[in-house]
A and B are shown apart, each in its own frame.
Chain A
Amino acid sequence: MTASLPKDPVDVIVVGSGAAGSNMAARLAEGGKRVLILEAGPARGPGHLISSTLYARRVKWTGPPVLDEGRNPVGFVFNSAYGTGGAAMHHYAVWPRMHAEDFNMRSQHDRGLDWPLTYTDLATYYDAVQQEAGVSGDAAKEVWRPIGAPYPLPAVPVFPQGNAIARGFEKLGKTVAPLPIAVTSTDYNGRPTCLWDGWCDSGCPIGALANPLTVHLPRAASAGAVLVNDAPVTKVLTSDDGTRAVGVEVALKDGTRQTVNAKVVVLAAFAVENPRLLLASATPKHPQGLGNSSGFVGRYIMTHAAGLVYGLFSEDTRPYMGAFGGQLVNQDSYPKTTHAKSGAFGSYQWMIAQAVKPNDLLGISTTRPDLFGTALQDFMKRATRGFAGMTAVCEDLPVADNRVTLTDQRDVHGVPIARVTHTTHEESVALWKASLAEGKEVMQAAGAKEVWTGPPGSMHIMGGTVMGTGASNSVTNTYGQVHDIPNLVVAGPGLFPTSAGVNPTFTVHALAARSAEHVLTTWQKVAG
């Protein structure tokens, strides 16, 4: 791909090169459209993905500052990234599907929001994307899994850490299955088999993990899409009557701005930058920001609370082996009212036996932040041999006041910086506590000689540009088209009206595939 902005209009501008942006860019380019991908961050290739927990931090967000506030901040820097591939460049590729009940929570349980589509509407897109990305798993053993095609790749291997924890689930009559993960368990489409060395968080340079560099950006490039790095979009430009997007304004390194025109603009800059751009692009026709006639832009920001449970075993668990996302899954607690007696509402799943390194935010040392000095040294030696951990992905109920807003401060390009405020709903807090109680029980049943838990870390960011049935209840329709401006399309987890109890990236891809198909099949109407 080249690295200069075109002077002439293009068919589609895609803002962001992460999971959603790369997927849409590939499909739209393969559909014959001239696609320009604008990535705010620097160019990154496989050679930048150094196997180091320290160097991995260079991949994370270093764009305009984001004020991360509220009682339970979303952890923006850790959960995002800056540069080619976006956050998906270092994601852990745990790709379970959402369940049918995730889509109608408001009508079924009087909680949260309803999606304007159903699981059935997405099922075939999940099937298509898993084939492209190469998802490993065992559909038959996932007894909770909604209907869908079997995985194209066999299940990931289970190492001693996984076997140790599985023992606990089985003793309690619970079920485990191989974790569905977009990492190659065998060679696939020219990609080598994973080595199970746990460097996913640093980014996978060998192509075993399905990040944008591996799957969709090469497809986009082959179809003629152009990716320009270091090209931060400062504003979405609209027509005088405010009914159409006409392009974007890009900040150049010399301090000037350049306008690039397009027939369709896709915002795929993640759950905080998308609403920031919509709000910062206000015009006299859209005084509260684009797509914000009812004040929904920025609202319903969600993040999964991580239920972190750890155990120390007598056996050598080899906890550094496997994928960073884990080896096994359990979704027994998926029905929304499973833990209602504890005051909890929502779903969670367990990601079991995640590969760990000695240091970093998710490393062994950080599981016991109270230890220091010789006690820490002793713990590190013991835990390296017998450590095991698992993480509950706890659903976060959507709350309107959890939101992205603009501040009075401005970034280097003069665009207001974002504030993200998030405080977890009390029923979601109760769900997180219920996950810890269950997790401790599992570890004890597994025979762990020490069991402990962690604080509610924030995983993933969703919402902020939620989809719905109309401008009175949402920002976009089911295809991500902004209600008031149909050729302005939002892509990514920001579209989610509820967070579900599973990792979001697979659903991000399924939605993007569906949106791209819709844009192509209705091109004349959308592009005008």
Chain B
Amino acid sequence: MLNTSSRREFVVAATLLTFTLAGCSRKMTPAQARASDVPFRSLDTFAVTVLDALGETLLPGSAAAGLSHYIDHQLSGSLADSMLMIKYLGVPAPYTDFYLRGLRAADALAHAVHGKGFAGLTHEQAVGLVGKMAGGQVEGWQGPPVGLFYFVLRSDAVDVVYGTKAGFEQLGVPYMAHIEPPSRWGE
């Protein structure tokens, strides 16, 4: 029979995402993984650098919230366990190539327009380029559809900043969980 525990009385089984540090598996938030400098598994150093810079432009605070570690963790696991928004958007799995090609294209755009990589742009320059990406039309863009890439990355940034209990609290939204999510990402 179905066990319908009444109302909000479910036991919280709190586990964090599993990251591997110094050969040991540890449960931690993406923010903690970033602070602990957990090695990446799917993203290379170049991709992480661009991703952090893009993330900060899309939503300030997303880099510190562990955006890169969150995406890397999700890309490195099974599709069934993935929590990335891209699952909804008609992009065939696996998604790593989508991210890598998009990040390369964004960096190439920065070089083409400003003569330097995305991570080296001033705030105003980065905002200007992301504004073009948001418009969905960028001449010479060599990656996944630019509007889709913008939307995916923006959604990821929103997820790590606002999609958590801490993010809800930041906005003054009561979380009201029946079953608490395992991780308080963004702490």
**Contact among A57, A198, A358 with B82 in the assembled complex (CB-CB below 8 Å):** A57
**Cβ contact within 8 Å between B162 and A359:** yes
**Cβ contact within 8 Å between B154 and A320:** no
Which residues of A48-99 are within 8 A (CB) of B? 49-55, 57-58, 60, 62, 65, 67-68, 73, 75-78, 82
A334-373 vs B, Cβ < 8 Å mask (1 yes, 0 no) = 0000000000000000000000011111010110011011
**Cβ contact within 8 Å between A373 and B4:** no
Stretch at the interface among B109-117, B137-145, B176-184: B176-184
Q: Is A374 an interface residue (CB 8 A)?
A: yes
Q: Given A359-B159, A373-B57, A380-B162, A222 and B180 touching (CB < 8 A)? A: no
Q: Given A358-B158, A372-B57, A206 and B4 touching (CB < 8 A)? A: yes
Q: Given A191-B4, A369-B154, A50 and B162 touching (CB < 8 A)? A: no
Q: Is B60 an interface residue (CB 8 A)?
A: yes
Per the bound structure, the CA–CA distance linking A213 and B5 in Å amounts to 13
Q: Is A47 an interface residue (CB 8 A)?
A: yes
Per the bound structure, the CA–CA distance linking A73 and B177 in Å amounts to 32
**Cβ contact within 8 Å between B83 and A55:** yes
Report chain A residues within 8 Å CB of B79.
62
**Cβ contact within 8 Å between B167 and A358:** yes
Q: Given A52-B181, A57-B85, A73-B90, A369 and B59 touching (CB < 8 A)? A: no
Per the bound structure, the CA–CA distance linking A191 and B181 in Å amounts to 23
B52-90 vs A, Cβ < 8 Å mask (1 yes, 0 no) = 000001111000000000000000000111111101101
**Cβ contact within 8 Å between A57 and B87:** yes
Q: Is A247 an interface residue (CB 8 A)?
A: no
Q: Is B130 an interface residue (CB 8 A)?
A: yes
Q: Given A50-B181, A320-B174, A373-B127, A192 and B83 touching (CB < 8 A)? A: no
Report chain B residues within 8 Å CB of A111.
none
Per the bound structure, the CA–CA distance linking A169 and B167 in Å amounts to 33
Report chain A residues within 8 Å CB of B176.
51, 195, 197-199, 320
**Contact among A47, A62, A218 with B80 in the assembled complex (CB-CB below 8 Å):** A62
CB-nearest residue of chain A relative to B159? A359
Q: Is A45 an interface residue (CB 8 A)?
A: yes
Per the bound structure, the CA–CA distance linking A410 and B92 in Å amounts to 14
**Cβ contact within 8 Å between A60 and B134:** no
Q: How large is the interface on B (under 10, 10 to 19, 20 to 34, 35 or more residues)?
A: 35 or more
Q: Is A492 an interface residue (CB 8 A)?
A: no
State the Cβ distance, B24 to closest chain A Cβ, in Å: 25
**Contact among B1, B163, B171 with A360 in the assembled complex (CB-CB below 8 Å):** B163
**Cβ contact within 8 Å between B163 and A53:** yes
Which residues of A366-389 are within 8 A (CB) of B? 366, 369-370, 372-374, 376-377, 380-381, 384-385
CB-nearest residue of chain B relative to A42? B80
User: Among the interface residues A62, A73, A221, which one has the most CB atoms of the partner chain B within 10 A?
Assistant: A62
Q: Is B168 an interface residue (CB 8 A)?
A: yes
Per the bound structure, the CA–CA distance linking A183 and B13 in Å amounts to 26
Interface residues of A (CB under 8 A from B): 42, 45-47, 49-55, 57-58, 60, 62, 65, 67-68, 73, 75-78, 82, 190-192, 195, 197-199, 204-207, 213-214, 217-218, 221-222, 320, 357-361, 363, 365-366, 369-370, 372-374, 376-377, 380-381, 384-385
Interface residues of B (CB under 8 A from A): 1-8, 10, 13, 57-60, 79-85, 87-88, 90, 92-93, 127, 130-131, 134, 151, 154-155, 158-159, 162-164, 167-168, 171-182
